[in-house]
A and B are shown apart, each in its own frame.
Chain A
Amino acid sequence: MPTLSLRLNGRPVNAEVETSTLLVDLLRQQLGLTGTHIGCDTGQCGCCTVLVDGLAVKSCCQLALQAAGREVTTVEGLAVDGRLHPVQDAFVECHGLQCGYCTPGMVMSTVALLEHNPRPNEAEIVDALEGNLCRCTGYVNIVAAVQKAARTMAGAA
């Protein structure tokens, strides 16, 4: 089995994987990081979104080996010393989640958006979240949470 090395949530990780192992399965099954969810296994729902070198990626559509040598960030890697990331905090504050299953993917897509576009307008937010499905919230408070997170992070910068 091939071995790969990557940086995961800031720490070096080595793992043996099959060539066919998906990134999401490496994260969930081999490394036990179950915050990244599987909602459709066909790249349509976005529940499995993680960051690879800062870009939002659907981890059910990428082989684990494609992440070799890269920096992968999952929802578990956002909070610092138990303090929520401003995007996580905004989702709580704005009631941007109900069942919470799509939430890690929504949060990761938002983090990627705000990293590249700290002051997105509403159309840019909608564009960034177009690949993430939510069945509970109707997206009302998700968009509000992204806007709040952007304001918070701009204020902190």
Chain B
Amino acid sequence: MSALPASSPPAARFGSGRAVRRVEDPVLVQGQGRFADDVSLPGQTWLAFLRSDRAHARIVGIDTAAAQALPGVVKVFTGADLKAAGVQPIELPPAFKRPDGQVASAPPKQPLAVDVVRFVGEPVAAVVAESREAARAAVAAIMVDYEELPVVASLAAALAPGAPEVWPEAPGNVLAEARYGDAAATEAAFGKAAHRVSLELDNQRLAPSPMEPRSVLAYMENDRLTMRLSSQMPTGVRDGLAAGLPGRTEETVRVLVGDVGGGFGMKTGIYPEDLVVGWAALVTGRPVKWQAERLEEFTSAAHGRDAVSHAELALDAAGRVLALRVRTWANVGACPAAVSVVIPLLIGPWVITSIYDVPLVSLQLSAVLTHQMATGAYRGAGRPESIYLIERLMDAAAREMGVDPAELRRRNMVRPEQMPYTNALAQVYDSGRFEKILDRGLVLADWAGFEARRAEARARGRLRGRGIATFLEWTGGLALDEDVRVDVTAEGFIELSSATMAMGQGIATSYVQLAHDVFGVPLERIRVLQGDTDRANGFGSAGSRSLFTGGSAVQVASVRCVDESKKLAGEALEASPSDIEYREGRFSVAGTDLGIGLFELAARQPGARIVVSGTAKAGGPSWPNGCHVCEVEVDAATGAVEVVAYASVNDIGRVISPVIVRGQVEGGAVQGIGQALSERVSYDAGSGQLLSASFMDYALPRVDGFRAFKTEFDESVPCLTNVLGAKGVGELGTIGATPAVVNAVVDALAANGLGREAERVQMPLTAEAVWRALRREFPSVLPLRPA
């Protein structure tokens, strides 16, 4: 790897490690951003979807005549029309196995339903019209004749003996299963254990809910289909469109993404709606726009989490973990994508032993079909589920043994001298000093002073509790290499082209800071170009990968650009490149006053620019980790929970943009608090109707929630597998906050006479749930007794 050029300013005010104003912000605060819905075209038509209002029904007939006859209607089409035209459904790749060893198969995601609808909100028909109002009026005029079919709208219903099957090729509604570890050795370890604890845990279904709904504008441009939409992965969407639309190839589809109004994993893949809008533009030859209503986002944009587990921990008399045994059922909905299965059956397990040296595991994980929307990635994607599980178990074990929960964790942590450490799932941690992070977290949270605060709260009639989560997570999104192209232009700009996507995480600012380290030119001279598949292609932004992969590539490409430009400068100045020095936008011949500016040099090149690409490949995923400590107070009369203190120490390796990473951790923690206390996607168990279909029913955290975070970063343990030494940060706060908050509530209840019974509470810990818990009423969550 190249070192930074010696000429780079050692203490640049705006480079990496410095707090700067984000380059994204001046435009965004003035309303001058360009979000997907902000672009309209002359002659644009509007598309609206008719969606299923049944969870499971056969489509007997669709009568579109009345709709077609309404004024302003351009075209009405159904699933049968698209199928006849050769538009392909999105199939589950054959990468998973059923319990009987057969290749897993699930209902394909049809662009518009064919013959059968399988969840409320599934698109059934579409109307293209001259105005949005005309399109909506025509949707209301379409008549669908449904024959109701039996519904399995919960895990329990799907797994009940003799349950109706969502898909004939998934017997018993079990789509796929994965087993890890050594079941016999684990059983033996449990047999000889001094302490055993078990928990039933519901990691409830969530709606990612970026504030920007989906919006798609499709139009033809010289026979090429251009799609402007909101996505974290433009290349993946382009490839999906090329695969699904008849006659289209990756060369004849272009995807453009402007500002992305939040993603959180929900905008990582192609949606059936994208295919429909694209096809509508192909057949009408006119620009077509679809704006998702928030209701459509709740019913038909990917949900997250939704796994129920029976989790057990065996420990010896000294409190050392002997074995972990887990049985999980993940509700992946009716028409899952690959990611629906990858998250609970592959990625989640990788971190299930977290930062603890757990010698034995036995995991049995099932992906179960139900008549609900498919699950997908949501901030953390598998790691929150696993970390919640192990951190709840750690607290249960500490309570069982009468040991301080921080002390029990300390006894089990992987030690620095064990690095690189291979965990029970064969994942290799490159670095981490977990006990150091714990020690600092305990100081920051004033761990020792808690009992006094508990007593003071009790005097006020409030039940105070404290929870801790010490944990790590895996980042990288299964894609560790990234390219960046650097263009130095005669107009005086350095352009960085990348296939990663900005979505609020400030990646453009971080890239500009990294390029500034190398080039030393003012920040406003450096631009980041993203969101155009004609310019750059790659995996995109997900799994907290962009900085340590794309940022590394920015550094590598920038250094290469300076090196290559030295040769050009040598030619221009008639000197040997080895005598050329570079500093802050200017090349000079050592020991002389001869020189040329970087941009002037660019002006002299063919095409009036210098173009250099660079690739960086990380040697492995990064393993950010942290210690999060939360204190809550419970109002015993109402059950209302208030977060009253939150301290966290985070190891994200080298920090490039201090203000940004703090915002990521604290904003992420509020999302984690949302899962712990208020958010839940709720379907009616009988009919499969979606009950949480607006922001009145789906309770996002609001401004009146907790904000007084104490947040620190420990930069002493750089990541060893990328040139920056950075670890992913985007999901850390979300992963840590949920268990820290729930452990605190359980602690408050346990200390108020419930003891270990308090561990039976389930998220979200609404006032009602906690009020019931105080009366020893607990929900039952396991769909089956584990064998």
Same complex: yes
Interface on A for B, CB 8 Å cutoff? 18, 20, 28-29, 33-42, 44-45, 47, 74-76, 78-79, 84, 88-89, 91-93, 95, 97-104, 107, 125-126, 129-130, 132-143
Q: Whole-angstrom distance between the alpha carbons of A141 and B262 in the complex?
A: 17
Contact call B506/A98, Cβ cutoff below 8 A: yes
B649-672 contact mask (Cβ, 8 Å, vs A): 1 or 0: 000000000011011001111110
Kindly list chain A residues whose C-beta atoms are within 8 Å of the C-beta of B696: 42, 44
Q: Which residues of B683-713 have CB atoms within 8 Å of chain A's CB atoms?
A: 694-696, 700-705, 707, 709
> Is chain B's interface secondary structure helix, strand, loop, or mixed overall?
loop
A101 touches B666 (CB 8 A): no
- 20 residue pairs bridging A and B, Cβ less than 8 Å apart: A35-B31, A41-B293, A44-B694, A44-B696, A47-B211, A74-B31, A88-B29, A92-B25, A95-B22, A100-B29, A101-B262, A104-B31, A135-B262, A135-B264, A135-B671, A136-B262, A138-B668, A138-B707, A140-B670, A143-B707
Asked if B667 contacts A101 (CB within 8 A), the reply is no
Q: Is the interface of A mostly helix, strand, loop or mixed?
A: loop
Determine if A40 and B695 form an interchain contact, defined as CB atoms under 8 angstroms apart: yes
The answer on a CB contact under 8 Å between A42 and B29 is no
Given that A44-B696, A126-B704, A138-B666 are known contacts, is A99 also in contact with B503, CB under 8 Å in the complex? Answer: yes
B116-163 CB contacts (< 8 Å) to partner A: 133
Since A39-B212, A101-B33 are in contact, a sample of 18 more A-B pairs with Cβ atoms closer than 8 Å, ordered by chain A residue number, is A29-B40, A34-B31, A37-B261, A40-B695, A42-B294, A75-B29, A76-B30, A84-B30, A91-B29, A101-B35, A101-B261, A107-B29, A130-B704, A133-B700, A136-B504, A136-B667, A137-B666, A137-B670
A138 touches B28 (CB 8 A): no
Min CB–CB distance A83 → chain B (angstroms): 11
Contact B261–A100 (Cβ < 8 Å): yes
Q: Does B285 contact A (CB under 8 A)?
A: no
Rounded to whole angstroms, the CA-CA distance of A75 and B669 in the bound complex is 29
In the complex, whether B86 has a CB less than 8 A from a CB of chain A is no
- A residues near B660, Cβ cutoff 8 Å: 95
A33 to B668, CA, bound (A): 31
Considering the chains assembled together, what is the distance between the CA atoms of A141 and B660 in angstroms? 11
* Size category, B interface: 35 or more
- Give the shortest distance, in Å, between B593 (CB) and chain A (any CB): 38
Asked if residues A138 and B670 are in contact (CB atoms below 8 Å), the reply is: yes
Q: Known: A20-B133, A100-B504. Is A135-B209 also a contact (CB below 8 A)?
A: yes
Q: Would you call B24 an interface residue if the criterion is a C-beta within 8 Å of the partner chain's C-beta atoms?
A: yes
Q: Which residues of A are found within 8 Å of B295, using beta-carbon distances?
A: 42
Contact (Cβ within 8 A) B702 A92: no
Cβ–Cβ contact A143 & B294, under 8 A: no
Residues in A whose Cβ lies below 8 Å from that of B35 = 34, 37, 101
B262 A40 Cβ-Cβ under 8 A: no
Q: Assess whether B32 is interfacial by the CB under 8 Å rule.
A: yes
Q: Which of B496-524 contact A (CB under 8 A)?
A: 503-506
For the complex, what is the distance from the CA of A104 to the CA of B662, rounded to whole Å?
A: 22
Given A42-B294, A45-B695, CB of A143 within 8 Å of CB of B38 = no
- Taking a contact as CB atoms under 8 Å apart, the answer to whether A135 and B294 are in contact is no
Q: A95-B659, A98-B504 in contact; A38/B291 too (CB < 8 A)?
A: yes
